[in-house]
C-alpha cells in the first residue's frame, strides 16, 4: 500500500536566491543542531543498510524543514535524494520517481545523474518510452559520463533503443 503523499507533484515556485546552508540552519531555534543530528543518524542507518530506519530518519528531517525547503539547496537535495535512493532500493519505483521530482525541484535539472535516476525509475515501472526520453536527456547533459554511472541493463536498453530509432523505416 502506498503511503499518503508527502508532497505535491505540481511544480514548485522557483526558489528565491539560495542562502548558504549554514545561514539556513541558523534560522532554526537551536541553530540546526537537532536537525543535523537527526540527519546524521539517518545517514548512519543508510550506510549500514538499515533502510527502514534510514527512511524514518530522513522523513523526520523532511518534516522539520520549513515551507521554503527548496531554498535549502544542499540539505534539501541531500534528504530528497536519499529518500529517492531508499525507495528505489526497496523497489517502490513510483515513490522513487516522486522523490526524483522533488530532487529536480531543489537540485540542478542539468545534472545527468538526476536525469538518469528518473529514467531508471520509469524503466523499472515498465514505462520504456519515458525511460528512453529521460536517458536521452541525461546523455545530452552528461555525454559518455552518463553511461559510466549507470547499470549495464539501462545502458544496453538505451543504446539498443537509440540504434533502433535511428534506423530508417522500411
pTM of the entire structure?
0.75
Residue owning grid cell 523532511: 62
Alpha carbon distance 62, 39 (integer Å): 9
For the record, the C-alpha cell of 134 comes out as 529521460
Which value, in Å, is the radius of gyration of the alpha carbons in the chain? 18
Over the chain (170 residues), the average pLDDT of each successive run of 10 is 35 40 68 82 95 95 72 74 94 94 73 89 96 95 88 96 87
Q: Where do the structural domains in the chain lie, given as residue ranges? A: 20-94, 108-170
Q: Which of 61, 58, 113, 116 is nearest to 86 (CA)?
A: 58
The alpha-helical segments, DSSP class H, found in the chain are: 21-26, 33-47, 51-64, 73-89, 93-106, 112-124, 128-142, 145-148, 152-166
Q: Quick one: pLDDT at residue 64? A: 78
Neighbours of 63 (CB within 10 A): 8
Amino acid at each position: 500500500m502506498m503511503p499518503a503523499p508527502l508532497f505535491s507533484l505540481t511544480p514548485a515556485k522557483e526558489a528565491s536566491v539560495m542562502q548558504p546552508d549554514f545561514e539556513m540552519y541558523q534560522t532554526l531555534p537551536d541553530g540546526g543542531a537537532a536537525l543535523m543530528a537527526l540527519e546524521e543518524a539517518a545517514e548512519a542507518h543508510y550506510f549500514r543498510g538499515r533502510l527502514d530506519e534510514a527512511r524514518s530518519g530522513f522523513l523526520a528531517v523532511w518534516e522539520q524543514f520549513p515551507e521554503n525547503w527548496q531554498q535549502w539547496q544542499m540539505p534539501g537535495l541531500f534528504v530528497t535524494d536519499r529518500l529517492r535512493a531508499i525507495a528505489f532500493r526497496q523497489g517502490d519505483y513510483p515513490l522513487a520517481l516522486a522523490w526524483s521530482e522533488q530532487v529536480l525541484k531543489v537540485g540542478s535539472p542539468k545534472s545527468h545523474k538526476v536525469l538518469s535516476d528518473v529514467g531508471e525509475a520509469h524503466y523499472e515501472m515498465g514505462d520504456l518510452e519515458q525511460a528512453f526520453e529521460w536517458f536521452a536527456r541525461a546523455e545530452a547533459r552528461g555525454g559518455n559520463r552518463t553511461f559510466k554511472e549507470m547499470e549495464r541493463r539501462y545502458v544496453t536498453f538505451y543504446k539498443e533503443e537509440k540504434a533502433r530509432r535511428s534506423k530508417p523505416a522500411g
